[in-house]
Chains A and B, each alone.
Chain A
Amino acid sequence: MATKTSGVRVLVGTRKGAFILTSDEKRQKWNVSGPHFTGWELYHVKGSPADPNRLYASQSSGWFGQQIQRSDDGGKTWAPVDNKFVYAGVPGTHQWYDGTPHPWEFKRVWHLEPSLTDPDTVYAGIEDAAIFRTTDGGKSWNELPGLREHGSGPRWQPGAGGMCLHTILLDPSDPQRIFIAISAAGAFRTDDGGATWKPINRGLVSEYIPENSAEVGHCVHRIALHRSRPNTLFMQKHWDVMRTDDAGDNWHEISGNLPTDFGFVIDVHAHEPETVYVVPITSDREHFPPEGKLRVYRSRTGGNDWEPLTKGLPQSDCYVDVLRDAMAVDSCESCGVYFGTTGGQVYASADSGDTWAPIVRDLPAVLSVEVQTLS
């Protein structure tokens, strides 16, 4: 259902700080605020659905480690909250790149997912892969160890970007159900609020692992759902775009006529649960759009039949990447779609992807894009 809106707030995490882009519901003229946290990597910035003024940001640095920042006024001011992410118990080992056991080590927070109903509750997806939760607005973080302690944990292995838990989807119809994805372990689901988890990778086929249809080991890049149909998930895998209609118990491929089915982002239109967006990237060797043409592909049929969206996007000499957390949709009456690139552009479409324009062109490399629809 469309939201009556006063405007939108786009939250952009980059390699060198965070930026907040605001506009009215027309989404033609933009105000740019930032950089916030200058010089730090901002892997993710996200607002609480329950309180749009409550924002959380993952701020990290190879020198000075991890910080979590919180704003209570829509990003005007920020304050650091607890940054201590300590695995529960004795963490044990996962596989290293060479197949040898390697101890679980905290590196950074990739993704923050605020609760749909409580601004003080937030889930954090971290590297090395685990899920943490705060229920006090970030004053303390505690692991939900049932995921990492899943029997398959010792077989998980990092992807090229690290062994990161990068996607957390909260089921709007069932507060006990959460979906997560890990590179390169795969997708998992809990039906009991995070106490226990099961791999949901049946139907995934990955030629880069010894057993192509293994229970775990798949490099899932991103999953997305529409809040009206939480049993239907869409996945951009390392290769292949996939779909499930039974909450991940079975997946099937929907790559169809895409020029390449490699990519990172995937998202679903705010009002049309069968309208899906991806940005095809040439290959795992060539992290840029095919033919140097930056094209969003849209399927209005839930996959397989895809159309390129090019108006306003560079159609020559474009060699940027679009990283996994760098696409979002708003819920204005005419659905807005946003994505950011490693070249520092943030593109917006106020008409479901038919036409695009850059909001900004020269930010640092964009790591994440989220949008809040303000009423």
Chain B
Amino acid sequence: MIKVVLPAQLRILASAPGDVELDLAPPVTQRAILDALEARYPALCGTLRDHVTQERRAFVRFFACEQDLSHESPDAPLPDAVANGVEPFLIIGAIAGG
């Protein structure tokens, strides 16, 4: 089971728990996680990636296993530790502004 941690603002918006568990078939990718998140919580559509281009919003970051995966291809397989649920996939609002 894959664990996804949402930022507080999006947990409230989507009425989602802090840690979301997703059951995904391999390969586990950013796109697969976001597709599953949006399917379960439609309010998240448009909050993490653009409705039309599907590109990550500029101030959203994806971290896992102490790595910044934000600039990886959305179709690249995520680390095994994420895919097998040992490490969470962290969705972060970037540090920006005051």
Q: A residues near B, CB below 8 A?
A: 38-40, 61-67, 80, 83-84, 86
Please give me the residue from chain A that is nearest to B51 by CB atom: A84
The distance from the CB of B45 to the nearest CB of chain A, in whole angstroms, is: 7
For B25, list chain A residues within 8 Å (CB). none
For B67, list chain A residues within 8 Å (CB). none
Give which listed residue, A39, A67, A83, A86, contacts B52 with CB less than 8 A: A86
Contact assessment for A63 and B45 in the assembled complex, using a CB-CB cutoff below 8 Å: no
Please give me the residue from chain A that is nearest to B43 by CB atom: A80
Contact assessment for A84 and B57 in the assembled complex, using a CB-CB cutoff below 8 Å: no
Please give me the residue from chain B that is nearest to A83 by CB atom: B46
Please give me the residue from chain A that is nearest to B52 by CB atom: A86
Contact assessment for B46 and A63 in the assembled complex, using a CB-CB cutoff below 8 Å: no
The distance from the CB of B6 to the nearest CB of chain A, in whole angstroms, is: 10
Residues of B1-30 whose CB lies within 8 A of A: 7, 9-10, 12-13
Contact assessment for B97 and A62 in the assembled complex, using a CB-CB cutoff below 8 Å: yes
Chain B interface residue number, banded: 10 to 19
> In the bound complex, what is the Cα–Cα distance between A67 and B14 (angstroms)?
11
The distance from the CB of B95 to the nearest CB of chain A, in whole angstroms, is: 10
> In the bound complex, what is the Cα–Cα distance between A349 and B7 (angstroms)?
41
Contact assessment for B9 and A63 in the assembled complex, using a CB-CB cutoff below 8 Å: yes
Please give me the residue from chain A that is nearest to B12 by CB atom: A38
> In the bound complex, what is the Cα–Cα distance between A109 and B67 (angstroms)?
35
Give which listed residue, A63, A66, A80, A86, contacts B60 with CB less than 8 A: A63
Contact assessment for B51 and A62 in the assembled complex, using a CB-CB cutoff below 8 Å: no
Contact assessment for B45 and A64 in the assembled complex, using a CB-CB cutoff below 8 Å: no
For A83, list chain B residues within 8 Å (CB). 45-46, 51
For A38, list chain B residues within 8 Å (CB). 12
B33 at the interface (CB under 8 A from A): no
What is the total of A-B residue contacts with beta carbons within 8 Å?
42
**Which applies to chain B's interface (DSSP): helix, strand, loop or mixed?**
loop
Contact assessment for B60 and A64 in the assembled complex, using a CB-CB cutoff below 8 Å: yes
> In the bound complex, what is the Cα–Cα distance between A67 and B57 (angstroms)?
14
Contact assessment for A63 and B94 in the assembled complex, using a CB-CB cutoff below 8 Å: yes
The distance from the CB of B58 to the nearest CB of chain A, in whole angstroms, is: 8
**Which applies to chain A's interface (DSSP): helix, strand, loop or mixed?**
loop
Contact assessment for A67 and B43 in the assembled complex, using a CB-CB cutoff below 8 Å: yes
> When A and B form their complex, which 5 residue pairs have the shortest distance between CB atoms, in order from nearest?
A64-B47, A63-B93, A63-B59, A80-B43, A84-B51
Residues of B35-72 whose CB lies within 8 A of A: 43, 45-48, 51-52, 57, 59-60
Which of A61, A63, A64 has the most chain B CB within a 10 Å cutoff? A63
Please give me the residue from chain B that is nearest to A84 by CB atom: B51
Contact assessment for B51 and A63 in the assembled complex, using a CB-CB cutoff below 8 Å: no
Please give me the residue from chain A that is nearest to B10 by CB atom: A64
For A62, list chain B residues within 8 Å (CB). 59, 96-97
> In the bound complex, what is the Cα–Cα distance between A91 and B26 (angstroms)?
38
> In the bound complex, what is the Cα–Cα distance between A80 and B57 (angstroms)?
19
The distance from the CB of B22 to the nearest CB of chain A, in whole angstroms, is: 20
> In the bound complex, what is the Cα–Cα distance between A63 and B97 (angstroms)?
10
> In the bound complex, what is the Cα–Cα distance between A39 and B59 (angstroms)?
15
Contact assessment for B46 and A39 in the assembled complex, using a CB-CB cutoff below 8 Å: no
Please give me the residue from chain B that is nearest to A79 by CB atom: B43
Which of A38, A64, A80, A84 has the most chain B CB within a 10 Å cutoff? A64
> In the bound complex, what is the Cα–Cα distance between A65 and B51 (angstroms)?
10
Contact assessment for A39 and B9 in the assembled complex, using a CB-CB cutoff below 8 Å: yes
Contact assessment for B93 and A65 in the assembled complex, using a CB-CB cutoff below 8 Å: no
Contact assessment for B13 and A67 in the assembled complex, using a CB-CB cutoff below 8 Å: yes
> In the bound complex, what is the Cα–Cα distance between A39 and B46 (angstroms)?
18
For B94, list chain A residues within 8 Å (CB). 63
Contact assessment for A80 and B13 in the assembled complex, using a CB-CB cutoff below 8 Å: yes
New A-B contacts (5) at CB < 8 Å, excluding given A64-B10, A66-B46: A39-B9, A40-B9, A64-B9, A64-B57, A65-B46
> In the bound complex, what is the Cα–Cα distance between A61 and B60 (angstroms)?
11
> In the bound complex, what is the Cα–Cα distance between A83 and B57 (angstroms)?
15
Decide yes or no: A86 and B51 within 8 Å by CB, A63-B9, A63-B59, A65-B57 being known contacts: yes
Contact sample, A vs B, 13 pairs, CB 8 Å cutoff: A39-B9, A61-B9, A62-B97, A63-B7, A63-B9, A63-B96, A64-B60, A64-B93, A67-B43, A67-B47, A80-B13, A80-B43, A83-B46
